[in-house]
A = this chain, B = another copy of it.
Amino acid sequence: MAKPPVLTPRAEDFPRWYQDVLAKAELAENGPVRGTQIIRPYGYAIWERMQAEVDVRIKAAGAENVSFPLFIPESYLRREAEHVEGFSPELAVVTHAGGKDLDEPVIVRPTSETVFGEYMAKWTQSYRDLPLLLNQWCNVVRWELRPRLFLRSTEFLWQEGHTAHTSQADAAAYALRILHDVYRDFMVEVLAMPVLVGRKTVDERFPGAINTLTCEAMMADGKALQMGTSHELGQNFARAFDIAYLDGEGTQQHAWTTSWGVSTRMMGGLIMAHGDDAGLRVPPRLAATQAVVVVIRDEAGVAEAARSLVERLGADGVRVVLDDRTDTSFGRRATDWELKGVPVRVEVGPRDLANGQVTVVRRDTGERSLQDANSVAATVPDLLETAQADLLATATAAQEERTVDAGSTEEAAAAAESGFARIPWSALGPEGEARLARSAVSVRCLQRPDGSVPVTDDEPGLVAVVARSY
């Protein structure tokens, strides 16, 4: 008799499966105020790893971390017309504080271009002060009508980079550098997600930007998730906040600014890109726990052998934990580690150990193998790298399989029912984009035919990647 599944199967109800994974793998749950979220220890440990890997890349790109305030005067937002129009419907407003009504209400930051603009203006006098490359890790609030944990929450955690440059070319190059060297590199190399990069169409740009670059990933249901964006803001915010500098000739000039961010939304992407019907599958380079050594039954030196294995793996730099909770059944614990997606499970039991062996289970493939108990530790680092590569290869193959070339708007709309469609931008255009929108299909990005990022929307031969999206 088959066991009832722990999770709703993906094919049966993908959104329900997603909710099941969040709950059963103890990743996150709803907070008390609508749309807010609680990230539980196992989920937060993964987020900490994401932060560490992104942060090291941000610092390598020369940006420095800072902390700007949660509260922004309402008046700041109004200084950039498109920006205030874009964000007004989502704002949370503090009207009362310290026991009385405030003279000027303050908003809870939905993003911080305005307040960074105000202070960048103070800190920028000469061209020698530029580029000014800043970043912060913080929480932001956007009031959501249809919240979903990690994907669309009223409060979320993110990093937001804000930079100022002496020329449009320098700003454009830096926005692209962040997209490639920070975001895409992290997503491909660590998250094992084969993200597409490209430009957003005018309709899909960030409010106040002259160009938005994006990383787009395919989820297991064929829908797209925007995983991170990098914006050229032109001189819009520099003019609104007077970020100006004296150039080499002593002439006052406005700076060119950028902003860019990734958020806890990537947690949702991770789940929906790699998860299967048994739960999460965490890529080894990301995993806070890369391997678990499970004591099946504590007899005949099993616990001791398991502890010594944990020590050896730890000494080799593997992030490993010991599971010796033998008062819980082995089956239940094994299911739990599968739910949590820990990449490698080493099962130590009395019968195998009597033969000098342990069982190694790969979470990504489910493959089990008996291995020599004395030499297994040395094989785990390679196995982790193999699993990392295989997860990326599997996701890449799935994405390619579900991406079709379409010749017309109708074909593109039909293809977007189950995946991505690629259609010449000259065949689609803003009119086709508007028609697709009626069936909830959007242009995720514009790319060159070779998948690289175009410099303008007008380059000949551009391809629009269209899909339904989260």
B69 & A48 in contact (Cβ 8 Å cutoff): no
Kindly provide the distance from the CB of A143 to the nearest chain B CB, expressed in whole angstroms: 3
A64 & B45 in contact (Cβ 8 Å cutoff): yes
A88 within 8 A of partner (CB): yes
A73 within 8 A of partner (CB): yes
A99 within 8 A of partner (CB): yes
A124-147 to B contact mask, C-beta < 8 Å, 1/0? 000000000010001101011100
A157 within 8 A of partner (CB): yes
A36 within 8 A of partner (CB): yes
Which chain B residue shows the least CB distance to A327?
A: B128
A118 to B64, CA, bound (A): 37
A101 to B222, CA, bound (A): 38
Interface size on A, residues (CB 8 A): 53
A72 to B31, CA, bound (A): 9
A66 & B39 in contact (Cβ 8 Å cutoff): yes
> Which residue in B33, B73, B97 is a CB contact (below 8 Å) of A106?
B33
A73 & B33 in contact (Cβ 8 Å cutoff): yes
Kindly provide the distance from the CB of A49 to the nearest chain B CB, expressed in whole angstroms: 12
Which chain B residue shows the least CB distance to A73?
A: B32
Contacts of A48 in B (CB 8 A): 65
Contacts of A31 in B (CB 8 A): 68-69, 71, 115
A93-131 to B contact mask, C-beta < 8 Å, 1/0? 111111100000110100000010011000000000000
Kindly provide the distance from the CB of A342 to the nearest chain B CB, expressed in whole angstroms: 16
A29 to B66, CA, bound (A): 12
A138 to B156, CA, bound (A): 12
B139 & A32 in contact (Cβ 8 Å cutoff): no
B89 & A99 in contact (Cβ 8 Å cutoff): yes
Contacts of A69 in B (CB 8 A): 31-33, 36-38, 155
A301 within 8 A of partner (CB): no
A76 & B32 in contact (Cβ 8 Å cutoff): yes
Contacts of A64 in B (CB 8 A): 41, 44-45
A6 within 8 A of partner (CB): no
A119 to B30, CA, bound (A): 10
B91 & A65 in contact (Cβ 8 Å cutoff): no
Contacts of A66 in B (CB 8 A): 38-41, 44
A98 to B47, CA, bound (A): 27
A383 within 8 A of partner (CB): no
A70 within 8 A of partner (CB): yes
A92 within 8 A of partner (CB): yes
Q: List 17 A-B contacts (CB under 8 A).
A: A32-B73, A32-B76, A37-B67, A37-B69, A41-B66, A69-B155, A71-B92, A71-B155, A91-B97, A92-B94, A92-B97, A93-B96, A93-B97, A94-B108, A95-B95, A95-B96, A98-B143
A90 to B97, CA, bound (A): 7
